[in-house]
A and B are shown apart, each in its own frame.
Chain A
Amino acid sequence: MNNKIEIPDLMIYAMALEIKNFDTVLHGVSSPLPVLAMSVARKTNAPDMAYISGAEGVDPEVDRIYPSSFDTRLNRNAVAYFGLHEAFDLAQRGELNVMFLGAAQIDRYGNTNLSVIGDIDRPKVQLPGGAASAFLMPITPKVVVWLSRHSNRVFVEKVDFVTGQGYNNRPEEYKKNELVVISNLGVMNFKNPERVMQIQSYHPGHTVNEIKEKTGFDLLVAPDVAETPVPGPEIIELINNIDPDGVRWTEFR
């Protein structure tokens, strides 16, 4: 095992590996990890991807990230501008291949909540809102949900509010679309007949049992479960160069 690989960097690499060459990929708001993952993917496994920034630049050369994922400096050397509404139109056409989304809660079917903790009419906590989740989750061929705090308060039996649709809340034609969950402990997917969450890989230093214990529902384990691939030094260097201030750590603190 490669020592001292930081969790954000492991997650970024795992997220980058979800992008295939020639994919069209979009990141949204509050997305330092997706911005870094897309930048890594373009330098490694997906050099010919179409990169659409939430800041609206196409194929930018990101040399630095900021507290806002819409910072216009993220559009450096972009080849074009493509508005978010145009990217959403692309999604309706089925031509947006990958999108990264966040969540405050997620359940075994992949339903996500970014709306409220408690009752919608009397919220205990008013969350920011799901942004594009309810629109993109079902219709996008691959959605990657990243979660920086894997615990049974986040991975819950039942989400307080279904903002983004898991497999039990999707029309039949959208059940084929892929959902991947990447947390600070491991990589989960739904590649089983029941379309429920299973562990695909555990990050170095973590175990299947630990992930199960920190999950509020019965988590399946993929038959070919393995350790999460570790990024090489050149990838760590790339991440450090783009994020010298450690913006990627914000959501882990």
Chain B
Amino acid sequence: MKKALTSLEEAAKLVKDGNLVTTGGATFHRVPMEFVRELVRQGKKNLNLVDREPAMDFDLLIGAGCVAKIRAGMLAFEVLGLAPNFRKKSEAREIITKEGACQPIIAGFRAAAMGLPSLPVKGMLGSDLLDISEEIGGYKQVEDPFTGEKMIAVRAIEPDVTVIHVQKADEYGNVRIEGPVYEDVIKAKAAKTVVVTAEELIPNSEFRKMPEATTLPHFIVDAVVEAQKGAYPCSCFNYYNADYDHIKGYLKASAKDQFKEYLDKYVYRREN
């Protein structure tokens, strides 16, 4: 086993300008927010972001000017409101938006995880979404060679970097996720490079006591970073709940044209 433990700064350097990146979790839950904030601090540019149902992580990166292109099934702040920076920059055509759909995006990740160029899904036929042409995770109608059933083949989505936030990891990159796993395992297996931020580092011996609780083995993971509260203001199951007041504050700041102030306070942590 190779040691994978590193600093947040070094891990974020694995993301290069223009990379295809996906993040773990779903909407406001177990999202690698501290890593996302570090991407902003490092001034990443032209990122190509893809995920099933992202929220604040993608909106923050868009607002900070790190993003060229978005592919998502849905990008919003659930009932709290629309994603302010996504909406603004998408309408101004400052970013390219290529809407996907949940199962096809997952199929794209699954194809890459299985080492396949594409994977078919049902549904989708008749939706205008099929006309949104796109190379990564793009669609083509195919016929099953055995039954003739018409399906949509989804091109593999192989992220340059997948970053997930988890409850527990060891210094080699063995990972234990508690509670809902979302598509984190699929996304990790699909990626060229995998970064894990963890609430807690635990000894390798703990993993050996209960290997069935290991969600990802070390050879899948390239970098491990200890990051307490690494999902904040999103939730981390068994550790803390989502801070909806903070998230509402983000929306309020964006609505009042105070997004820069939000970045200064919570991302750059500059004293005024």
Contact = CB atoms under 8 A, between A and B. Distances in A.
A139 interface: yes
Interface stretch (B179-187, B194-202, B261-269): B179-187
A251 B181 CA distance: 29
Nearest to A72: B237
A83 B181 contact: yes
B103 A135 contact: yes
Given A138-B126, A251-B79, A126 B90 contact: yes
Interface in A30-80: 30, 32, 55-57, 66-73, 75
A168 to B, nearest CB: 8
A129 B127 contact: no
Contacts of B150: 171
Contacts of A164: 127
A217 interface: no
Given A67-B244, A123-B90, A169 B102 contact: no
Contacts, number: 176
A68 B126 contact: no
A171 B126 CA distance: 8
Nearest to A53: B180
Contact of B26 (A70, A75, A88, A133): A70
Contacts of A135: 101-104, 121-124
Contacts of A85: 103, 106, 110, 183, 186
B65 interface: no
A124 B90 CA distance: 10
Interface string B47-72: 00000110000000000000000001
A128 B104 CA distance: 17
Interface string A113-151: 011000010111111111111111111000000000000
A59 B74 CA distance: 25
B129 A132 contact: no
B10 to A, nearest CB: 30
Interface in B113-133: 121-129, 132
B144 interface: no
Given A66-B244, A68-B27, A68-B78, A165 B126 contact: yes
Interface stretch (B16-24, B81-89, B158-166, B222-230): B81-89
B97 A30 contact: no
Nearest to B109: A85
Nearest to B178: A72
A12 interface: no
A21 interface: no
A213 to B, nearest CB: 28
Given A70-B29, A71-B235, 11 more contacts: A29-B26, A29-B76, A71-B28, A81-B180, A83-B180, A88-B106, A91-B103, A126-B86, A126-B91, A165-B126, A171-B125
9 contacts: A32-B79, A67-B80, A68-B244, A88-B106, A91-B122, A131-B101, A133-B101, A162-B126, A165-B127
Interface of B: 26-29, 52-53, 72-76, 78-80, 82-83, 86-87, 90-91, 93, 97, 99-104, 106, 110, 121-129, 132, 150, 179-183, 186, 235, 237, 241-242, 244, 247
Question: Sorted from nearest, which 5 A-B pairs have the closest CB atoms?
Answer: A128-B76, A169-B126, A134-B127, A56-B180, A135-B123
